Amino acid sequence: MLGYYKKERIKMYLRRGLVLLSVYAVLFLTLFFVTPIERFLNGNLFFYADSYAKAQCRVHFLDVGQGDCTFVELNNGGTTIMIDTGKKSAGKEILKYMSLVGYGRGSRIDYLILTHTDSDHVGGAKTVMENFDVKSVFVPMIYSTFDVENGFDSEDYYVDSSSLWAEVRKSIVENVGLENIFYSFAGKSVLGMNFSLDFYAPYNEKPCGEEVSSTNNYSPVLILNASGMSTMFVGDIDSECESEFLDYYRAKVENGDLDVDVLKIAHHGSKNSSSKAFLDAVSPEYAVISCGESNSYNHANDDTINRLVEINADIFRTDIEGSIILTSGSTDTITAFCDFYRIGSAQFSWLGIVVTFVVVSFLIFVFSIRISTEPQM
């Protein structure tokens, strides 16, 4: 009789084990659909809205804390551009964001533009280049100690001696290749199907201003025209550089040729940028500020915000709204999606949920077998 009950108990645990293995198999199969599951769990259902799905131009302003990173999809992903990569610590978070919007490791980035050498703009560049298929890189005419040590002709140009910039320059050579490095200054253009990306400054290899007090003014002024939306990117230029820009392109300013729909605000909303004259000249309908929550620099500065309010611009901030996406399509209507994915905040990870469930349920199963097989007093 005792042997009969023992056999039945063994059969019961075998049945339970088979059920548990079947559940595990189903859960592991769902990992092939991890991205849509995570989007659903995190409430990101706007991906299925017509205005997003049919958009020919999507500009993603990533929330990377106190730093800059913008990802652009043109022709519904036919051409991709990334402008800056945030701090070094943002590299892995950029990979997470890119995966959520459909660009896993190995995906193509046609153009990577590094505006200048500050760590909050180029810190994640090595991670990006090692994990994506980057075709071309635009950089300012700033050499590094890596260039000097390897015999590059840098005598007439500024050398940033930071170890980070040397690491980035080395990574560009190793991952993208010397033949695919281009330098950012006025007159350069990237032309493609239904879009143009034009460089307006610096006016030569040198920065705005007479002396290099920082690398901020090496930042290019870029205007992207795509699908009825014009977006201006200005890196970290200051008001002196803005003034030179207005003087240099006075005829274009007076004709309204430099009016844009969207302005990526300079230097994270610093009080030393986004002068009234500059804002009046480019007259953006939307202003996007990338800055960290409760940052020590007091970005975005109240004076800058007030100047944007005076021109009636709709203001979006990554420290408040999280990552921001502006889209446009054949109707030339700009649509904004906010708070899609806040880097650093709690997010559902389907892989984490599956692994946790498997481990906990397996331990409960094993523990229940041990309890039932222990000799009774």
Identity (one letter) of the amino acid at 234?
Answer: V
Read off the pLDDT band of 233 (50, 70, 90): very high
Domain assignments of the chain as residue spans, ordered by start: 23-42+348-377, 43-347
Q: What is residue 244's DSSP assignment?
A: H
Read off the pLDDT band of 165 (50, 70, 90): very high
Q: Residue 14: pLDDT above 60? A: yes
Note the pLDDT tens digit of each residue in 109-131.
999 999 999 999 999 999 999 99
Residue 82 and residue 69 in contact, taking contact as beta carbons nearer than 8 Å: yes
Residue 194 and residue 75 in contact, taking contact as beta carbons nearer than 8 Å: yes
Read off the pLDDT band of 344 (50, 70, 90): very low
Better-predicted residue by pLDDT, 2 or 58: 58
Highest mean pLDDT, choosing among 174-188, 193-207, 353-367:
174-188
Read off the pLDDT band of 343 (50, 70, 90): very low
Residue 119 and residue 164 in contact, taking contact as beta carbons nearer than 8 Å: yes
pLDDT score recorded for residue 340: 61
The structure tokens listed for 218 are: 């090496």
Query: How far is residue 140's CA from residue 117's CA, in Å, rounded to a whole number?
Result: 8
Note the pLDDT tens digit of each residue in 169-187.
999 999 999 999 999 989 9
The structure tokens listed for 189 are: 């253009």
Domain 43-347: which CATH number of 3.60.15.10, 3.90.1580.10, 3.30.390.30, 3.30.1330.10: 3.60.15.10
